[in-house]
Amino acid sequence: MSQNFGYVHKENVDFWDFPRGFYRNQTESNLLYCKFTCVGIVSLFGNGLAVHVFRRKGSEINVPEVLLLNIAVVDLFLGIASYPATIVAAFSHRWVFGQTGCTLYAFTCYFLGLATILSLTALAIFRFIKTCFPQKGNWMNVPRTRLVIFLIYVYSMGWAMMPFFGWGGYDVEPFGFSCTLAWTHTDQNDRNYILAASIFCVFLPSIVITASHLGILFKIRQASRMFSSKSAGKQSSKAEIQFIRVSFGVCFGFLIAWLPYACISLWSTYGDVSAIPLWITPIPVLLAKSSIAYNPIIYVLLTRRYRYT
């Protein structure tokens, strides 16, 4: 394990002094700069608006909305923490904030990213229990939901702090505009951390989210047949389906954003890094960073009651 586990390795000097040959011309670099800028603006505005909408509900807020509010708050802070530095680095065509800046950036984004996916997992589990086992759904109230959110932050902080205690590390990403976990470290201890983080922070939550929504979909199809001749049932079913659309959109949108990133990262850890075309490396990052921008759009497009709040 390297002694500089929490920092970028100085042998990657090209990250600090000049671009790594990622771009064939400056136009490509400027294009990525424009994309980061646009997505960053949409993210900050959209999540800020989502926080405002949910906060206005006050004491009337329910359990799923508490989780969605938490997701919006986390995404808002993630946008504030990540996009300004990435935009400046893209404009400068290199990472300009040094080792300490890289470590703080990677730690913050990693912590907030984990909090988002775990909040989405909690949302999926709650919707599954509430839809498939309604008689057991009443135990999940707002105070208990806040406790779950607190535990989510503790769990996320634990994983994000591990590189500071000798397990894993943070490094500049291959294209030099942002920092993340050091996927390409060859130390076996670091590799074990990457594998464990991928399983317990990405793939396992992804399985839970997918299984929960498949169960919800099956239950909704059953309920639609039962309520086909009851007007009150139709109204209830319609409201339930509308909110489930939001859950589906937010959850699967996040999975689409992060699963490619996790797969490329594991390939970098256990496979041949040189076999990954350099032009591919920013694509999973763009998808991952875009997720915090389209979550609030999903709220607006799929939920009429929030659209006019």
Average pLDDT on 52-76 reads 85
pLDDT of residue 77: 94
**Could you read off the pLDDT of 189-206 as tens digits, one per residue?**
888 898 899 899 988 998
Structure tokens at 123: 């949302």
Q: Beta-strand (E) ranges in 154-262?
A: 170-172, 179-181
First-to-final CA distance of the chain: 53
**Could you read off the pLDDT of 17-30 as tens digits, one per residue?**
444 444 445 666 67
Q: If 0-12 CB within 10 Å is exposed, 13-18 middle and 19+ buried, where does residue 100 land?
A: exposed
Q: So what CATH class is 14-307?
A: mainly alpha
pLDDT of residue 4: 39
More confident position, 2 or 35: 35
pLDDT of residue 234: 56
Confidence grade of residue 166 (pLDDT, cut at 50, 70, 90): confident
Supply the DSSP symbol for 242. Answer: H
Average pLDDT on 255-268 reads 79
**Could you read off the pLDDT of 103-156 as tens digits, one per residue?**
999 999 999 999 998 998 998 898 888 888 887 767 788 889 999 999 999 999
Confidence grade of residue 248 (pLDDT, cut at 50, 70, 90): confident
pLDDT of residue 200: 93
pLDDT of residue 6: 39
**Any idea how long the chain is?**
309
Residue whose token pair is 């319609």: 238
Q: What is the 3-state secondary structure (H, E, C) of 105-118?
A: HHHHHHHHHHHHHH
pLDDT at 163 over 60: yes
**Could you read off the pLDDT of 263-299 as tens digits, one per residue?**
877 777 777 666 666 667 777 777 877 888 887 777 6
